[in-house]
Amino acid sequence: MSTDEKGRIRSWMLTPSKPAFVPPRGAIDAHCHVFGPMAEFPFSPKAKYLPQDAGPEMLFALRDQLGFSRNIIVQASCHGTDNAATLNGIAKSNGKARGVAVVDPDIADVDLDALHEGGIRGIRFNFLKRLVDNAPKDKFLEVSHRIGRLGWHVVVYFEADILEEMRPFLAALPVPVVIDHMGRPDVAQGPVGADMTAFRALLDSRPDIWVKTTCPDRLSPQGEPYDDFVAAVRPLVEDYQDRVLWGTDWPHPNMEQRIPDDGGLVDVIPRIAPTPDLQCKLLIDNPMRLYWPEEVL
């Protein structure tokens, strides 16, 4: 773990390895964040963690090193509902990044339009109590009804222990839904354990729930090379191949005690998506449909 003299935490590797797996040309890292830089884009007063700067230049250097072409920058909780840092990342990407915002549910339509102009294509609802103070489902539903006209989706982050209580809310969402990190199942239970079975039932409940098959580093009790994660997640990728996404989760917020090697994370891809066809769906076709639909004919 690395904390600087101001108490700001670094949760990412300074020199990650080059992966052995070469992603197909056009691959999209569909879940990553930027932090700051703080001098330009201060963190929220409500932030639950205070990271060191991890700005767009660092993100794009990692993208190139890992062999990816595009990024989806997801607003992290440390920036609250001020999406300026995420928009800055998108603006600096030369069209190679789009994003997911976190908004005050009372946001004006004209401000949603401005976010769309800035490359935002969805909004995120975070239900993790350690990250946010409240998650008002009624307000979230209201704002969800105002984003359909933009062609947006919602990204929902919750943990497996609240999946049952999330079901009515998820069923009521009027736009496509993307679930972060598979709703954080206990992968040690295996592919037919209680958590994965419940999560599959959720996927079966509507055809427009997508899933990020991300974060072996967060979800695997075993750690590298993440055999438990691979065993639990590979069948999910195979069975729901048209609605799975993948991302690095760089700069790995709150992972300062177990900082993952980004190259090692990329090398999990061919183990959960073992054929070139599955890899293209996971890394290109599926995220393109959600984030650059105008390029998909």
Q: Which residues are catalytic?
A: 249
Contact region for ligand NQM (CB under 6 A) — 34-42, 228-236, 246-254, 265-273?
Answer: 246-254
Among 157, 210, 240, 291, contact with ligand NQM (rule: CB under 6 A): 157
Residue 72, strand partner residues: 98
C-alpha distances in Å from residue 201, one per residue of 44, 198, 206, 207, 240: 36, 5, 9, 11, 12
Q: What angle do CA 248, 254, 259 make, to 5 degrees?
A: 60
Give the shortest CB-76-to-ligand NQM separation in angstroms.
4
Verify binding: residue 249, ligand NQM, rule CB under 6 A: yes
Name the DSSP letter for residue 125.
E
Contact region for ligand NQM (CB under 6 A) — 72-80, 142-150, 228-236, 262-270?
Answer: 72-80
Q: Nearest residue by C-beta to ligand NQM?
A: 77
Give the shortest CB-236-to-ligand NQM separation in angstroms.
18
Verify binding: residue 76, ligand NQM, rule CB under 6 A: yes
CA distance linking residue 83 with residue 114, whole number of Å:
11
Closest CA to 29 of 40, 16, 38, 39: 16
Contact region for ligand NQM (CB under 6 A) — 16-24, 75-83, 227-235, 261-269?
Answer: 75-83
Give the shortest CB-123-to-ligand NQM separation in angstroms.
13
Element (H, E) at 196: helix 194-205
Structure tokens at 178: 């993307």
Verify binding: residue 77, ligand NQM, rule CB under 6 A: yes
Question: How many chain residues are in contact with ligand NQM, going by CB under 6 A?
Answer: 11
Instruction: Report the relative pairing of strands 2-3 and 9-10 from DSSP bridges.
Output: antiparallel
Give the shortest CB-157-to-ligand NQM separation in angstroms.
6
Q: Is 35 helix (H, G, I), strand (E, B) or coil?
A: strand
Closest CA to 49 of 109, 111, 1: 1
Give the shortest CB-155-to-ligand NQM separation in angstroms.
9
Verify binding: residue 254, ligand NQM, rule CB under 6 A: yes
DSSP strand E in 127-194: where?
153-157, 177-179
Site for ligand NQM in 22-41 (CB under 6 A): 33
For ligand NQM, the closer CB: 180 or 195: 180
Contact region for ligand NQM (CB under 6 A) — 58-66, 71-79, 113-121, 198-206?
Answer: 71-79
Verify binding: residue 262, ligand NQM, rule CB under 6 A: no
Q: Identity (one letter) of the amino acid at 36?
A: G
* Residues near 75 by beta carbon (within 8 Å), at least 6 away in sequence: 33, 83, 86, 99, 100, 101, 102, 124
x-marked contacts with ligand NQM along 105-134 as a string, rule CB under 6 A:
---------------------x----x---
CA distance linking residue 15 with residue 175, whole number of Å:
39
Which residues in this chain contact ligand NQM in the complex, by CB under 6 A? 33, 76-78, 126, 131, 157, 180, 249, 253-254
